[in-house]
Amino acid sequence: MAQGLQQLQRETGLQVSSCSERIDLQAYGITHNRCVDDALMAELFAHDKALMQALGRGQDDLFGMDSASAPKDPGQRKECGCIVSKDIGSYNTCPHLCTYCYANASPETVLKKFARRDPMAECMIEYEA
């Protein structure tokens, strides 16, 4: 699988990274990363003071270094480097049906929900009572 991902990486020019993996896949050009990455958020949204405060950024330590202390998500596996986050979606609602997606357990349920959706509604999905 790693060799296949390495080939896709070469063909597309995209960087492939893993999250929550103990094994070192650098020989295949696959780096360790995070799905919910505080360092990337800080780089992209440095202008957002509220976010920087939530990430523990923006306050220099004694030596003038930016002290980052975003809390690790305690609900994730030990190897996971993701920070605390909140999913904003709902399970079994994404019609892309990606093979390894954790959010869809049943393609049939997803397609039924998608067929019942109202594109003009305030909410993308219909909640059952």
| Token output for 93 | 């609602």
pLDDT digits (tens, 9 = 90+) for 2-43: 999 999 999 999 999 998 888 999 999 999 998 899 989 999
Mean pLDDT of the chain: 85
Average pLDDT of 54-62? 70
pTM surpassing 0.85? no
122 SS3 class:
coil
Name the β-bridge partners of 66: 60
Other CB atoms within a 10 A radius of the CB of residue 112 amount to: 11
Domain segments of the chain as ranges: 1-33, 37-86, 87-129
CA–CA gap between residue 109 and residue 102 (Å, rounded): 14
pLDDT digits (tens, 9 = 90+) for 70-90: 778 888 888 888 888 887 778
